[in-house]
Structure 1
Amino acid sequence: MYLRILIIVCIYFVAAPASFAQEVLAHRITQALQKYVDSNQVAGINALVLKRGKIIYQASIGFSDRERQTPLQHDHIFRIASQTKAITCTGIMMLYEEGKLLLDDPIAKYIPAFKHMEVLKSYHAPDTSYTTVPAKKEITIRHLLTHTSGIGYAGIGSEEAKAIYAKADIPAGFEKRRIVLGDKMKALAQFPLLHEPGEAFTYGLSIDVLGYLIECISGKSLDDFFRERIFEPLGMQDTHFYLPKQKHERLVTLYTENEQAETMLQKNNYQHYPLVTTGTYYSGGAGLCSTIADYAVFLQALLQGGRQKEFRLLSPNSVRLMTSDQAPDVFLGGPDRIGFGFSVITKKGSVVGPWNEGTYAGGGYFGTHYWVDPNNEMIGLIYTQKHPNSSWEEIQSVFKAMAYGSFLKDDE
């Protein structure tokens, strides 16, 4: 098993020669992460750091399935949830480069259901009734890319959004039923926006709408578009909306925590959505599963200006657009800004932690996180499978601090 995993990883990246000092530092990171497993704060952790396209740290700690005592391996598959968003935004930019859309086009040009939108004026919680006023402007593709469209999140968003979207059974993205994205996105258009387009940031189903837009323009399902245009050319062999049966055993078990923050099995039935062999709901905002190595390949292509070996995913200019502040006048509640599918670290944000201005980052609902630091040609990823997890901010912060402290001293 170890040899097979090593071969898989080496197809993507070459491990950088490590000095004795670097090996000691890497061991310290592993020991630090191991403590979170030993103290029952997580069942397992996969972590990976790349520098100039070479692996400088990689570890699989703990268990993929703690109850069965299955050790976590590098090729185990995680629910990456909102990390899907960056891939969907990449698909939009591919169509933009091909002249098939413009970023400031109204979405109604392609999906007429979004014409003549209404904005929520008042909401009555006891019976979930509401009043609306006509929107003053149309939703554009740029609004959707930056979560400034006014569309909220089903299931995990505000109380108003959850209650209103439940009227049409709009899913958050983790779906086992045989329903299709287009039907639910057109149903979503019948409900009011939470604010005027472009006037505020609301994390929501905007990227799912863009997934449907890709389907409308390409004439393909989002699953087929991703596989043919992104995954197969990049060699991302283990990234799927729904896992092939032969890969089911590699899906990491999903955990949650009790009142004492101790890790326990997640008993909600939705956790098994990746194992549905007849799944048809291709959520552009949250639906994908992947390995840590697969997603690193995608990030490395962006870091290299949109190219991976002979395959050109995007132009450097499109990568620049995706990783720039695309909503400069919108209040986000913190120092960092929003690009297309990424948080973008500003000068103010760079003094909060070790990463540099211009770093872009993201993560997923079930405990996955990554960052790309162009200044240091560095990529870091850390994956768990637990929600909620009261230790998650600490775990990723410790990993990030130690990665920068360990590997950016002696190799310059």
Structure 2
Amino acid sequence: MNRITPIFIIALIALLSVSGMAQDKAARLERIDKFVQSYVDNGRLNGAVVLIEKDGRRVYEKTFGYRNVDSREAMSEDAIFRIASMTKPVISVAAMILYEEGLFSLDDPVSKFIPEFTNPTVVDTYNENDTTYTVRPASREITVRDLLSHSSGLGYAQIGDSRQNAIYYKNRINGGIGTPYSPLSEMIPKLAKLPLMNDPGSVFLYGLNTDVLGYFVEVVSGQPLDAFIKERIFDPLGMKDTYFYLPESHKSRLVPLYKYDDKLAEQDSLINLKMTFHRDYPLYSGEYFSGGAGLSSTAEDYMKFARMLLQEGKAGDTWILAPQTVRMMHTNQIGDHLMWGDGEMESRFGLGFGIFTRAAFRAYGMPEGAYGWSGMYASHFWVDPANNVTVVIMRNIWPTPDWDLSQRIVPVIYQALTVD
């Protein structure tokens, strides 16, 4: 009996220790619940889906609020969201699949594949009063690397500065997002004939680069963009709910688009610079495949994409990309230039992804070397190789005063991952 008692006590202590750790882990995960739920409870957000994986395991999955506020329909895990610019990483991966096949070099001129980009010009002078401008020859041609790193000099229609908006509007160039009409083969050659906002390679300028890249993929592959990404990315990853335009069977799962000004309300289709923004574009039978912003997806589907990136291109027994290629994609490609000109955050950009630097860790705890992107309608994702973590946050709200949720949630997530 005396020999059994110590063993019993040791086992009891171990059991209590494990139980205490489990309680601590549950309490820390609950902080994420409370954080996101507070936005719903305060009437600033209709709903969201948050997924977190660590070390290859799902450690957190939760839905919040309502898919539809008016009907009080609860948010569901299979809800479909407009992911806007989170389309860009997908199309960048598509381009790099063709790169691995030796079909182009990153420093090939785009005009080799899309002749309309030959001999580009740059805006030299611009008159704000009447939107007239003069041009000069660009210092060099745009390369494929420039498109992937947003350093081509192409601006953004509708969401760019006044100069970009005016020049593109006069020439009927749209921002891609929410615009189901006109195929890439019509819009991109027309865009190519317009002047750049600056010389290629001279500065990071967020623009229509990935829409051009989508057309580039069509030209190089010989397939429509939607068909190529389905065959080479979505089907191998098991992404069954990601589309430019939703099939009839999926339309009922699309989350309404909300806005928050002084109160939460469903967003209307917008008129921005006299150009229509179609709120319900995923429900149309469209022909414009916006590589920069056109996809809709579920949190689960996008996590499959993020997981592939964390695994350096591998999905199960399938390789989408080689590890070397994925590493290239989250390596700084813009040198000493800054994203957004933000000196405090010292942001950098790779081939399709924003890269978090030491400054991001100093500012709000995002691990240095993590990478990812966000969508206009407040969806976010990141891949953290150092900690073996992937995060997907899906919302559909614009405008919102709470864009910084994606930063504020970072310490809330990582504190929960300290107990395993």
- Indicate the TM-score class for this superposition, using the shorter chain for normalisation: over 0.9
Q: Does 1:352 align with 2:363?
A: yes
Tell me, what secondary structure is at the counterpart of 2:62?
strand
Write the letter of the residue equivalent to 1:410: V
Q: In the TM superposition, what whole-angstrom CA distance separates every residue of 1:319-367 from its partner, at most 9, and x where no partner exists?
A: 0110000111323323121011111112233222222221002110001
1:363 to 357, 374, 397: 374
Give yes or no for contact 1:185–1:212 (8 Å, CA) kept in 2. yes
CA 1:138–1:306: 2 relative to 1, 3 Å: same
Structure 2 residue aligned with 1:294 = 301
Does residue 281 in structure 1 map to residue 281 in structure 2? no
CA contact (8 A) 1:37 1:61 kept: yes
1:6-405 matches, within 5 Å, as: 19-258=22-261, 260=262, 262-268=263-269, 270-276=278-284, 278-332=285-339, 333=342, 334-393=345-404, 395-405=405-415
**Structure 1 counterpart of 2:328, one-letter code:** L
- 1:136 shift after superposition: 1.5
Q: Deviation digits for residues 49-101 of structure 1, max 9, x if unmatched?
A: 10012111111000111011111011100000001100111011111100001
Q: Distance in 2 between matches of 1:24 and 1:244?
A: 41
CA distance 1:255–1:175, shift in 2 (3 Å): closer
CA positional deviation for 1:190: 1.3
Distance 1:60 1:356 in 2: 25
Q: How far apart in 2 are the matches of 1:71 and 1:225? A: 34
Q: TM-score, normalised by structure 1?
A: 0.92
Distance in 2 separating the partners of 1:206 and 1:356 = 27
Instruction: Report percent identity of matched pairs.
Output: 39
2:178–2:279 Cα contact (<8 Å) kept: no
Cα displacement string for residues 261-285 of structure 1 (whole angstroms, at most 9, x for unaligned residues): x211101161100000x21110111
Distance (whole Å) between structure 1 residues aligned to residue 77 and residue 389 of structure 2: 19
1:315 Cα deviation after fit = 0.3
The Cα shift of 1:384 comes to: 1.0
Amino acid at match of 1:274: P
Q: Which has the larger radius of gyration?
A: 2
CA distance in 2, matches of 1:306, 1:369: 20
Distance 2:164 2:63 in 1: 38
Q: Which SS does the other structure have where 1:375 is aligned?
A: coil
Name structure 1 gaps, 5 residues minimum. 1-17
Could you tell me how far 1:227 is from its partner in structure 2? Answer: 0.5
Q: Supply the AA of the counterpart residue of 1:330.
A: H
Q: Which amino acid aligns with 1:290?
A: S
Stretches of structure 2 lacking an aligned partner (at least 5 in a row): 1-20, 271-277
CA contact (8 A) 1:78 1:385 kept: yes
Q: Which residue of 2 aligns with 1:8?
A: none
In the alignment, the residues of structure 2 paired with residue 29 and residue 132 of structure 1 have an alpha-carbon distance, to the nearest angstrom, of: 52
- Cα contact 1:223–1:282 (8 A) shared by 2: yes
CA distance in 2, matches of 1:227, 1:81: 18
- Which amino acid in 1 is paired with 2:167? I
Indicate conservation of the 8 Å contact 2:337/2:348, yes or no.
no
* 8 Å Cα contact 1:380/1:400 also seen in 2: no
- Partner in structure 2 of residue 410 of structure 1: 419
Distance 1:400-1:137 versus aligned 2 partners, 3 A rule: same
Give the letter aligned to residue 43 of structure 2: N
Residue 203 of structure 1 aligns to a residue whose secondary structure is coil
- 1:286: how far off? 0.4
Flag the 1:105–1:175 CA change in 2: closer, same or farther, 3 A: same
Structure 2: how far apart are the matches of 1:84 and 1:173? Answer: 11
Deviations 1:82-121 (A, max 9, x none): 0110011101111110000100000000000000111001
| 1:176 to partner: Cα distance | 4.6
TM-score (norm 2): 0.90
Compute the displacement of 1:175 (Å).
3.9
Structure 1: how far apart are the matches of 2:362 and 2:336? Answer: 22
Change (3 A) 1:295 1:282: same
Structure 1 counterpart of 2:411, which letter?
A: A
Offset from partner CA, 1:296-331 (integer Å, 9 cap, x none): 101111111100101100000000110000111323
Q: State whether residues 175 and 281 of structure 1, in contact with CA within 8 Å, keep that contact through their aligned partners in structure 2.
A: no
Output the CA distance in 2 between the equivalents of 1:124 and 1:328: 32
CA distance in 1, matches of 2:360, 2:40: 30
State the AA in 1 paired with 2:264: T
Alpha-carbon deviation of 1:177?
4.1
Is the contact between residue 146 and residue 341 of structure 1 (CA under 8 Å) also seen in structure 2? yes
1:19 aligned counterpart, secondary structure: helix
For 1:401 and 1:201, locate their aligned partners in 2 and report how far apart those are by CA, in whole Å: 28
- How far apart are 1:182 and its partner, in Å? 1.8
Which amino acid is the alignment partner of residue 404 of structure 1? Y
